[in-house]
Amino acid sequence: MDLITILLGGLASGMVLFIVSVGLSVTMGLMGFVNLAHGGFAMLGGYVIALSMQHWGLPFGWALLLGFIAIAALSVVLERLFYSRLYRAGELDQVLFTIGLVFVMTASVTLGIGPTSQSVVLPDWLKGQTDLGFIQYRTYSLALIAAGSLLVLALWLGFERTRFGARIRAAVDNRRMASSLGVDVGRLFTVTFAIGSGLAAVGGGLGAEILGLDPNYPLRYLVYFLIVVSVGGLGRVTGVFFAALLIGVLDFVLKIYFPKGGTIFIYALTLMLLLARPQGLFGKKGS
């Protein structure tokens, strides 16, 4: 395989990582909440998308929207009922609670739908190859790259250019200061949590091709999502974007050239990076 092909493949999986992880980054940055169940929202969303297409014949785009809305709604309920009670608790309680939630999600899906993996059937226009002039490449991977790039642009604009975004940035940088300036951080968190979980759901559906989709999804990719978030820096949209691409490409390359355990480099690099810069590549010091 030549370089371009590998790069594109890596970018496509990096985009999926980004779409799933970005919400986690923002919510962790806002509340410092260790949410190990984030991958669970991606998995549930993937199921909503896959099943609504299979059983109701929903078109791909509508299925994505449905996945987003359903999981955003579910996450708001969970946030108001449970997460909000643990903001002041230590990491341990947050870890326990969210691991428990992952178990519940995994087991419920296994019980209700079955342990086998699901696939998202792509519409015709996303199948096959596209001629880029210099190379023929899978249309879907290219579409993923385009979608991820659009999303990061939209999020970046949202963060930099809207009042809502400015409030989130302020709260990530200094929660106390922001709330003393009249920002309702709790409310902000609920909304970002919903959007972030909804995006994870979309990512779960979009990425089913690459990451698969089965009840063990949340635990299998838990470490990956966490790595992306901590490498990128908590609460940094563009940071997560670059970190996700970096790790997506690195993972892709290593799996091709060192199929046996090549991913060890990712863990080693993450370890060294976090020791040198605990705030991640793009995070602000001390936040």
Partner 1 sequence: MASFTAAEQLARRHRFQWWETLPWIAALAAFFAFPNYLAFGTQVLITILFALSVDLVLGYAGIVTLGHAAFFGAGAYTVGMLASHFGWTEPLSGLLAAALVAGAVGLVSGLVLLRTTGLTLLMLTLCTMTLLEQAANMGAAWTGGFDGIPGLSFGKILGLFSFDVLYFRSQYLYVLTVLLICFLIARTLIYSSFGQSLTGVRENLLRMHAVGAPVRARLVIAYAISAALAGVAGGLFTQATGFVNLAVLGLERAAGVLIVLILGGYGRLYGAFVGAVAYMVLEHFLAKAYPTAWQLGIGIVLVVVALYARNGILGLAETLRGKRRQRSAS
List 136's β-bridge partners, or say none.
131
Contact 249, 7 (CB under 8 A): yes
In the complex, least distance from residue 98 CB atom to partner 1, rounded to whole angstroms: 8
Minimum CB–partner distance for residue 138 and partner 1 (Å)? 29
Which CB sits closer to partner 1, 12 or 228? Answer: 228
Of 219 and 256, nearer to partner 1 (C-beta) is: 219
Q: Tell me the two tokens of residue 16.
A: 């999926």
Q: How far is the CB of 162 from partner 1 (least distance, A)?
A: 27
Nearer to partner 1, 24 or 202 (CB): 24
d(CA 86, CA 55): 37
Instruction: Return the closest-CA partner of residue 60 out of 76, 49, 72.
Output: 49
Q: What's the closest the beta carbon of residue 127 comes to partner 1, in angstroms?
A: 34
How far apart are alpha carbons 121 and 141 in whole angstroms?
Answer: 14
Residue 273's identity, in one-letter code, is: L
Which lies closer to partner 1 via its Cβ, residue 6 or residue 254?
Answer: 254
Q: Which residues bind partner 1 (CB under 8 A)?
A: 28, 32, 34, 82, 85-86, 89-97, 99-108, 110-111, 115, 219, 222-223, 226-227, 230, 234, 260-261, 263-264, 267-268, 270-271, 274-275, 278
Closest listed residue to residue 122, CA positions, set 136, 148, 151, 142:
142
CB of 78 to partner 1, least distance (A): 10
- Residue placing its CB nearer to partner 1 in the complex, 28 or 172: 28
The answer to whether residues 201 and 44 touch, using CB atoms and an 8 Å cutoff, is yes
Residues 266, 251 contacting (CB under 8 angstroms): yes
